[in-house]
């Protein structure tokens, strides 16, 4: 046992460690030095106080050295070395304990367990209901109930309204489907400018054809009560009446057409019956007065009718064939009298039957065969040439018209004995002026096989 004690006393100290004996030796050395400085004039109380200060200083030095090296031993309050054996429970350092590593505090949890991240808080704390945060990583959309998604369509600006409405109306003139226009208008947020759609549609139809105006009247009738109201229609027509001085510059017949629009709208119950009464004695513009007078006249004439269905006429594709043939005959006869190609072209365009233009070619050639002299043939050639150059009559319609004459030539020859010779001369003239093709010219029928006499006669055709 004495040997063990000796070995313990002579064992080398660990680096950075100070034993209790060394602390006392340092204290004695400091004491001897201080005592020499004061020349031995120490009272017992001063000496005891000085020794206590030295011991406290040694303990502070020991704490600083132990904090720098976590493996070093700690010194207890009594000065004994604790945790000398690393395998002993006292020598192990528990990193999960709540005791302070710096020697400060009592080792209790921070803020009584109410502080830190992910803690429940202090005992007895009452929490308020918090709304779920969508940015929370634990946010569950399915547990929040039914989610309603609303599509917000911005309101169309008044300046951009024309750019968005004009393509819709022009496309409607091509397909004529009012349901598609209704669907497109519901997708737009027109807001308080909803009534301007009607005014823009009517203005575009005034610049177009009669079929376009008929389509516009049908469109306004179908949209009333679904997308537009009678109040919107009244505001739209009131705006058009005020814009008549500008519309008449491009369309001289705008007042009469607008009067027909108003009469058709009242008959279709688009406008109220009191619409015309609101303007009595209040109209200053002369053009607006003409339009309102035209509407009054039409409503008076058609008082027995519920609807003015034929105010714009019947569309080209819906007209009977006999009516179209009669119109084309009248067109050609007026042209032979006046000789105005532009007027004939305008009348043909107003018929709006591009698929039936071969009838015009057929009637023109028959008139040439039945006419006397060369005047009719030259005038008809100029008319067909003008229609060919402008593209009003296509090559297919031109060929069909001449082929119909070719097939009926034997019957025509019964009434016109020289039909074959006149036909050959007219076909050659049209070919020279580039009205028909070479294949169509070669397909023209002749009287039959031409018989020649002997070569001495010079190839004269037998009569």
For the chain, the domains span 13-85, 158-301, 316-442
What pLDDT, on the 0 to 100 scale, is given for residue 313? 67
Reading the block at residue 26, the tokens are 């340092």
Residues of the chain with pLDDT under 50: 1-25, 27-28, 30-39, 70-84, 88, 90, 304-306, 448-455, 459, 461-463
> 316-442: what CATH class?
mainly alpha
User: Which of 147, 140, 276, 253 is closest to 206 using CA atoms?
Assistant: 253
pLDDT confidence of residue 333? 92
In this prediction, residue 115 carries a pLDDT of 67
**Sign of dihedral through CA atoms 3, 9, 13, 17?**
positive
**CB burial class (10 A; 0-12, 13-18, 19+) of residue 378?**
middle
Q: What is the pLDDT of residue 423?
A: 92
pLDDT at 68: 58
Q: Are 83 and 48 in contact (CB under 8 A)?
A: no
Fold observed for domain 158-301: 1.25.40
pLDDT tens-digit readout, 355-387: 889 999 999 999 999 988 889 999 999 999 999
Fold match, 158-301 / 316-442: yes
Residue reference for tokens 């698929």: 355
- The whole-number pLDDT of residue 463 equals 45
């Amino acid at each position: 046992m004495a040997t063990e004690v000796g070995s313990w006393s002579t064992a080398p100290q660990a680096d950075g460690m100070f034993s209790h004996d060394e602390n006392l030796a340092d204290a004695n050395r400091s004491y001897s030095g201080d005592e020499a400085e004061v020349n031995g004039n120490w009272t017992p109380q001063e000496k005891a106080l000085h020794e206590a200060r030295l011991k406290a200083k040694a303990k502070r030095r020991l704490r600083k050295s132990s904090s720098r090296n976590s493996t070093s031993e700690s010194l207890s309050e009594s000065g004994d070395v604790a945790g000398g054996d690393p395998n002993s429970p006292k020598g192990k350092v528990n990193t999960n304990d709540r005791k302070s590593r710096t020697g400060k505090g009592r080792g209790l949890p921070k803020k009584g367990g109410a502080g830190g991240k992910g803690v429940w808080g202090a005992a007895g704390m009452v929490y308020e209901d918090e709304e779920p945060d969508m940015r929370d990583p634990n946010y569950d959309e399915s547990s929040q109930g039914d989610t309603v998604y609303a599509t917000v369509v911005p309101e169309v600006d008044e300046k951009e309204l024309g750019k968005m409405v004009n393509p819709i109306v022009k496309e409607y003139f091509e397909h004529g489907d009012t349901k598609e226009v209704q669907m497109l208008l519901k997708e737009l947020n027109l807001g308080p400018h909803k009534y301007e759609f009607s005014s823009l549609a009517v203005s575009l139809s005034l610049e177009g054809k009669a079929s376009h105006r008929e389509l516009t009247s049908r469109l306004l009738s179908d949209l009333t009560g679904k997308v537009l109201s009678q109040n919107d229609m009244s505001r739209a027509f009131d705006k058009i009446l005020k814009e008549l001085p500008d519309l008449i510059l491009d369309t001289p017949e705008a007042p009469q057409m607008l009067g027909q629009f108003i009469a058709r709208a009242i008959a279709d119950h688009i406008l109220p019956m009191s619409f015309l009464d609101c303007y009595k004695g209040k109209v200053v513009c002369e053009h607006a007065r003409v339009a309102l007078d035209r509407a009054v006249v039409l409503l008076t004439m058609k008082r027995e009718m519920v609807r003015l269905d034929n105010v714009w006429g019947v569309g080209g594709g819906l007209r009977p064939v006999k009516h179209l043939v009669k119109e084309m005959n009248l067109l050609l006869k007026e042209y032979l009298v006046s000789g105005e190609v532009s007027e004939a072209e305008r009348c043909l365009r107003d018929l709006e039957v591009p698929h039936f233009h071969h009838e015009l070619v057929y009637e023109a050639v028959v008139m040439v065969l039945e006419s006397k002299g060369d005047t009719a043939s030259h005038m008809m050639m100029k008319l067909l040439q003008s229609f060919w150059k402008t593209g009003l009559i296509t090559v297919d319609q031109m060929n069909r018209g001449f082929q119909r004459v070719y097939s009926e030539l034997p019957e025509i020859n019964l009434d016109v004995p020289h039909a074959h010779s006149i036909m050959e001369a007219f076909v050659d003239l049209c070919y020279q002026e580039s009205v028909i093709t070479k294949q169509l010219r070669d397909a023209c029928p002749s009287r039959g096989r031409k018989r020649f006499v002997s070569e001495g006669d010079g190839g004269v055709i037998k009569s």
